[in-house]
Amino acid sequence: MLLRWWWSTVVFFICIHGFRAQQTYVNNKQLDCDNNYTTALGYTCTSTATTTCRSYLTFRSQPPSYNTPSTIASLLHSNPDDIAVLNNLSSNSATIPANTVVVVPIRNCSCSAGGFYQHNASYILGSTDETYFSVANITYEGLTTCQAMIAQNPYNYRSLVVGNNITVPLRCACPTANQTAAGVRYLLTYLITWGDSIDFMAKTFGVSIQSILDANELTESAIVFPFTPILIPLTTEATRFISAATPAPPPSPPVIPVAPSSGGGSSSKWIFVGVGIGVGLLVLVFVTGFLVWFFRKRKIQHKNNLLPSKHSPNNHQIPPESKSWSMSSQGIRFAIESLTVYKYDELRKATGDFSEENRMKGSVYRGIFNGDFAAVKMMKGDVSGEINILQQINHSNIIRLSGFCLHQGNTYLVYEFADNGSLSDWLHSIVKNTKYGSVLGWKQRVQIVHDVADALNYLHNFVTPPYIHKNLKSSNVLLDGQMRAKITNFGLARSVDEDRDGELQLTRHVVGTFGYMPPEYIENGLITPKMDVFALGVLISELLSGKEAATRPPEAVGDEEDKVKDTAEDVADPQQGQLSEMIKEVVGGDNVRDKLTEFMDSKLRGEYPVELAYSVAELASKCVAADLNDRPSVAEVFVTLSKIMSSCFGEAREEGEGSVEGSIISGKSR
């Protein structure tokens, strides 16, 4: 029951594990041109015996340029007659209808100096818009990768010019010894497209599903992606491509394979290509799963399995999202090592029996422990996830957890106290009390943004395992006595699990705050560090404009923990009234200065340097790019903000780390 709940609501992992030393599926790594994944560079030469072999590629007819045997042969450095014969075409100049799969015989697929099987073609760049990526993905339809071209061409990625003659290493492979032993004579490089499945490929090429899985080191539960090549082991010479599909399956939501159940139900037998819902977006979404890999470089010190795998029932850590789990004894033991365990009576005493005057917000109380203030937050159920995260984190811009207490099924967390409350109160509170009646100055705002980026950079890049906060927003940014920012509320945070190399993190349980959630998360439940970057962009826009992240929330604003649960269906017209859309509007097009001045918080009374404000706004708009690949990493944001900070503070820096007293700090207005 518990397990079922878990599977159905939390996270689905997609795993592609190598289990036989054949060739590794490229697994969308070809989209990440900046990284040198071996599998993206080519299929490795497995056998010293076979350094050259015959092989087959597939290519989809691409009018107007590549839709005859001659043009395709010249693009792929093949022989036009071979193509015409094999595909039963009347001549070398016969027109092939668009998108028809053409089987292209390759006489020599050979092992290159780099140790990869490849067939060299060359391509002359014909337009300034072309990049290694576009040539690989569009012109060559995925038969090569940007990484392989970068590795084998002298031209820098950024300095490609029209007329460059680039080497295009096409992916092909020769059978391994085991495959040869099993009767495989050729490997055909097939280009997956929307709607394909391994089942379909097996039927079309008349081979077994298992042989395809083995050839590509895929498991039954794996997922494959459109525009990637997959190897089909053939025991006979290839014939013309005749689709085994009765009409192509209609687009349907992507099938996110459930981790195999003990029975290995038939539904997990196939590999599906994600199809359908907003095809373009989906590509991007899948594309970006690999971003997660950035964070998997280091070896894990302790296994932080997010899935309560049946094979390892003794996990020490409890999944961060498993709110309704009861805290296990292991969970507590883990936490105790570095935290104070309070007695309930101590908390009662510190908070005046949880009195109203000590209540700060919702279920958060002010308490005094040995003369120092602390915040005590009462939470229902299991919060071991948050405890486990916070107890291993130590950063001045992240609220420190000092201890906790378990009492009658509730967990009380004791945190560092932030004197100046939450950023959202400062920005949006209409209450003119003494504290929030004053206004955050320009420099304070820049400092806050910088602090938040610093904290996220730490979470993403300096913690093992790295974490995604997942719920960054102005009410989760607290300000201390010096108006320095500290992020809090790690209730939704989750680790980027390093153990599971090569997977996307997806959830069907979309939880977050409207206005701060990026489109790929709302629509597909994709969780990547770029999720925090999006929220940071919204937060920056909020600090610039003083406006709320979303002016028109689709639901009443949250419970006392300030969490709004939106399911994708509830978000009607999600673009409407969102700061993330407004900021893009502000920095795009004409009259930027006017639009920016209009956008900026009127409470700043124009007291900010317009050029720097523009730089900040521009950064924010990049952070909220709809396509998560267009968003900078947190590290990049942090670097940019550091530069802006130093222009902002200039010589004034020495006055104590830029913590500025007074409520209105004027920048040099130009």
Ligand X SMILES: *[C@@H]1O[C@H](CO)[C@@H](O)[C@H](O)[C@H]1NC(C)=O
Binding site for ligand X (CB under 6 A): 20-21, 31, 36, 52, 88, 90, 107-108, 110, 112-113, 120, 122, 124, 137-138, 152, 165, 167, 176, 178, 227, 283, 287
Q: Which of 638, 292, 642, 644 is nearest to 457 (CA)?
A: 638
Q: Which is nearer to ligand X, 88 or 355 (CB)?
A: 88
Q: What gap in Å lies between CA 147 and CA 26, rounded to an integer?
A: 11
Q: Which is nearer to ligand X, 107 or 668 (CB)?
A: 107
Q: Which is nearer to ligand X, 165 or 326 (CB)?
A: 165
Q: Which is nearer to ligand X, 227 or 436 (CB)?
A: 227
Is 43:53 a contact under the CB 8 Å cutoff?
A: no
**Residue at 510: amino acid letter:** V
Q: What gap in Å lies between CA 520 and CA 283, rounded to an integer?
A: 10
Is 144:60 a contact under the CB 8 Å cutoff?
A: no
Residue 193 CB, nearest approach to ligand X (Å): 8
- What are the percentages of helix, strand and coil residues in the chain, rounded to 5? 35, 15, 50
Residue 100 CB, nearest approach to ligand X (Å): 13
Residue 63 CB, nearest approach to ligand X (Å): 13
Residue 516 CB, nearest approach to ligand X (Å): 25
Q: Is 89 helix (H, G, I), strand (E, B) or coil?
A: coil
Residue 178 CB, nearest approach to ligand X (Å): 4
Q: Which is nearer to ligand X, 108 or 575 (CB)?
A: 108
Q: Which is nearer to ligand X, 192 or 660 (CB)?
A: 192
Q: Which of 375, 329, 609 is nearest to 478 (CA)?
A: 375
**β-strands 340-341, 401-407 pairing:** parallel
Residue 538 CB, nearest approach to ligand X (Å): 25
Residue 497 CB, nearest approach to ligand X (Å): 24
Residue 295 CB, nearest approach to ligand X (Å): 17
3-state secondary structure labels for all residues of 394-451: CCCCECCEEEEEEECCEEEEEEECCCCCEHHHHHHCCCCCHHHHCCCCHHHHHHHHHH
Count of Cβ atoms closer than 10 Å to residue 93 Cβ: 12
Q: Which is nearer to ligand X, 36 or 236 (CB)?
A: 36
Q: Which is nearer to ligand X, 90 or 434 (CB)?
A: 90
Is 382:325 a contact under the CB 8 Å cutoff?
A: yes
Q: Which is nearer to ligand X, 213 or 456 (CB)?
A: 213
Helices (H), ranges, 557-663: 579-587, 592-599, 610-623, 634-649
Residue 89 CB, nearest approach to ligand X (Å): 8
Q: What gap in Å lies between CA 618 and CA 612, rounded to an integer?
A: 10
Q: Which is nearer to ligand X, 249 or 554 (CB)?
A: 249
Q: Which is nearer to ligand X, 480 or 520 (CB)?
A: 520
The separation between CA 414 and the C-alpha centre of its own chain, rounded to angstroms, equals 32
Residue 517 phi, psi dihedral angles, 5° rounding: -90, 130
Tokens for 646, please give them: 């130093």
Residue 461 CB, nearest approach to ligand X (Å): 18
Q: Is 135 helix (H, G, I), strand (E, B) or coil?
A: helix
* Dihedral of the alpha carbons of 365, 369, 371, 373, in degrees to the nearest 10: -30
Is 493:467 a contact under the CB 8 Å cutoff?
A: yes
Number of Cα atoms under 13 Å in the Cβ half of residue 581: 11
Indicate the length of the chain as a whole number.
670
Q: Which is nearer to ligand X, 22 or 457 (CB)?
A: 22
First-residue to last-residue Cα distance in the chain:
64
Residue 220 CB, nearest approach to ligand X (Å): 18
Residue 572 CB, nearest approach to ligand X (Å): 27
Q: Which is nearer to ligand X, 89 or 390 (CB)?
A: 89
Q: What gap in Å lies between CA 176 and CA 20, rounded to an integer?
A: 11
Which of the 8 DSSP states describes residue 137? I
Residue 11 phi, psi dihedral angles, 5° rounding: -125, 140
Residue 149 CB, nearest approach to ligand X (Å): 10
Q: Which is nearer to ligand X, 187 or 283 (CB)?
A: 283
Q: What gap in Å lies between CA 505 and CA 528, rounded to an integer?
A: 7
Residue 81 CB, nearest approach to ligand X (Å): 14
